[in-house]
Amino acid sequence: DVKVTQSSRYLVKRTGEKVFLECVQDMDHENMFWYRQDPGLGLRLIYFSYDVKMKEKGDIPEGYSVSREKKERFSLILESASTNQTSMYLCASHGRLGEQYFGPGTRLTVT
Amino acid sequence: AQSVTQLDSQVPVFEEAPVELRCNYSSSVSVYLFWYVQYPNQGLQLLLKYLSGSTLVKGINGFEAEFNKSQTSFHLRKPSVHISDTAEYFCAVSEKTGANNLFFGTGTRLTVIP
């Protein structure tokens, strides 16, 4: 089975802090994704990566950056956290037939 | 870009009753179609997928979905729901060629009433 893990299930940070969310997959997938999930808005794509050191902006990249130094690891960075970034963050790894495999999510609260 | 519409944001249904969760998409190209389920405080789990072939697709937990190309729909059904089916369900679409992005609907919250 594909396994996607995220570094934290719950995280509380203060406004202005730098926040790192880590995601690791064990299936040697090339494509990885970061989404945020908010009530009534579904999943919105923040960034995705199709190879090591490669990244593409999704629908809502403002306030975020990403890092992909190794194939199995894709990090989401909030340079200066703000309260409107309080959300559930989901990482996904892309299978060869179009399906995506999701991690358990990180619920981030910015106070 | 693709557009996915889940017509019902919330669906309450009594235990052992049938349920249908609706999904429509807009596309002029061939697509892959997916349904995901999300239990409280968890990530999304793949329920079923349509890639090609038979338009009736069976998934886990007794769910099935039917691809209707002419109506650009991919509705999810279960003939008899259980309390444990209470969750949020997401429909998603990706194009067969081009980018690997999945486009998600806004989700349908299924609540099974005892």
**Secondary structure (DSSP) of A54-100:** EEEE-S--TTEEEEEEETTEEEEEESS--GGG-EEEEEEEE-TTS-E
CB pairs under 8 A between A and B: 57
Rounded average pLDDT over A97-102: 82
Q: Please list the rounded mean pLDDT of every run of 10 residues in chain B (114 residues).
A: 88 97 88 92 90 91 94 96 96 76 90 96
pLDDT band at A38 (very low <50, low <70, confident <90, very high): very high
| A59 phi, psi to nearest 5 deg | -80, -25
Instruction: State which residue of chain B sits closest to A31, comparing Cα positions.
Output: B100
Chain B residues inside the 8 Å CB shell of A103: 43
- What's the pLDDT at A94? 85
Q: Which residues of A touch B (CB under 8 A)?
A: 4, 9, 31, 33, 40-43, 45, 48, 50, 58, 90, 92, 94, 97-105, 107
- What's the pLDDT at B98? 58
Structure-model confidence comparison of residues A60 and A39, the more confident one: A60
Over 80: is that where the pLDDT of A98 sits? no
Looking at residue B84, the DSSP 8-state letter turns out to be: G
Rounded average pLDDT over A2-16: 93
CA distance A105 to A26: 16
**Within its chain, how far is the Cα of A88 from the centroid?**
10
Contact B44 A102 (CB under 8 A): yes
CB B89, CB B37: distance < 8 Å? yes
Contact B32 A97 (CB under 8 A): yes
Over 90: is that where the pLDDT of A86 sits? yes
Chain B residues inside the 8 Å CB shell of A101: 46
